[in-house]
Structures are given as C-alpha cells and as structure tokens.
C-alpha cells in the first residue's frame, strides 16, 4: 500500500469531517475530474466549488470513513455521510464507495458511487422510493444539483468582486 496516497485520502476525509472545503480542495490537482450520481461529471473548479457549497450548507452533518486502500497510482475508501437534506428536511445516511487516481501527490480523478434509489427514498420519502431508480429522477436531481452549484458560484464571485467573503 502506498503510504503517501493513503495519507492523502485520509487527509481529504479528515478535512471533510471538519467541513474544511479549502483543505479538501488542496488535495485535488488543478485539472481534477469528479463524478457521482447526483452531480455527474465535474472538472477543476466546479469540483472544488461543489465541496465548498456542500460543506457551507451542511446541517446536522457527520461523516465516517473506513477501508482506505492505496497503491502507487490511486486508491479507494468507503464513507458514510449523515445530514439533513435541505429541500425536505429529511435525514439522509448515504453510504458511498470512492475511488481515486492520484498523480504527483494530488487527486486527479475522484469517483463516488452510491445507490441512487436508496438516497432518493431517504431524501424524498415515498416519492423517492417510487421513482428513485428512474432516469427521470436522476436527471432531475442532477439538474437541481448543478443549478445549485451555479447559484453558489455566482454568489461567491459576486462576494469576491465586492471584497467580501463568500456566504454560501
């Protein structure tokens, strides 16, 4: 097991546990590629801003991670995020498997895999249980997630332009 790569993955999740998106962003290469069922594919600043948005909006959040594995080119981990889903106020316990490609001490590819139906049932209740497996729901969730990211980025840019800190 590559100690350096395992330490990088551990550093990423320890920062996430503390909702420290800036430390998480420092673990990523400038050209990082991220993907998960909710956001789809994100690159570079979009991936970093996704973590900034999620950590700034987290309510009743906790995270555990385990099974960190690494070799010379990457690694993997399992993690569980517990939080309130803002649109419904429902508690979600999302179990995720992450895989990483690491180059020159930074994450260049990060892929999160989770059961979209299970997530939808928790986040949306009965409606999510009924349609959580459908492409319609996945596309709707992705559109809303990306729309939220664009709004967050616009607010952050406006705050930076006016000399203030992003409020999220």
pLDDT digits (tens, 9 = 90+) for 101-145: 999 999 999 999 999 999 999 999 988 888 887 888 889 999 999
pTM metric for this prediction: 0.90
How is the chain classified by DSSP, letter by letter? --HHHHHHHHHHHHHHHTT-HHHHHHTEEEEEEEEETTTEEEETHHHHHHHHHHHHH--S-EEEEEEEEEETTEEEEEEEEEEEETTTTEEEEEEEEEEEEEETTEEEEEEEE--HHHHHHHHHTHHHHHHTTSHHHHHHHHHHHHHHHHHHHHHHHHHHHTT-----
Domain ranges for the chain, please list them: 3-162
Which CATH number does 3-162 carry?
3.10.450.50
pLDDT digits (tens, 9 = 90+) for 77-90: 999 999 999 889 99
């Amino acid at each position: 097991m590559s100690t350096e790569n395992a330490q990088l993955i551990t550093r990423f999740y320890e920062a996430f546990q503390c909702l420290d998106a800036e430390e998480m962003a420092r673990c990523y290469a400038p050209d990082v590629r991220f993907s998960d069922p909710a956001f789809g594919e994100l690159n570079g600043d979009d991936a970093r801003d996704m973590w900034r948005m999620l950590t700034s909006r987290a309510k009743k959040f906790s995270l555990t991670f385990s099974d960190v594995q690494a070799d010379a080119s990457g690694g993997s981990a399992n993690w569980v995020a517990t939080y309130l889903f803002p649109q419904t106020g429902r508690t979600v316990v999302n179990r995720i498997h992450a895989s990483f490609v690491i180059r020159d001490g930074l994450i260049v590819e990060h892929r999160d895999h989770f059961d979209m139906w299970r997530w939808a049932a928790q986040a949306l209740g009965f409606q999510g249980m009924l349609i959580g497996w459908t492409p319609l729901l996945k596309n709707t969730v992705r559109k809303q997630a990306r729309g939220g990211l664009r709004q967050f980025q616009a607010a952050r840019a406006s705050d930076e332009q006016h000399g203030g800190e992003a409020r999220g």
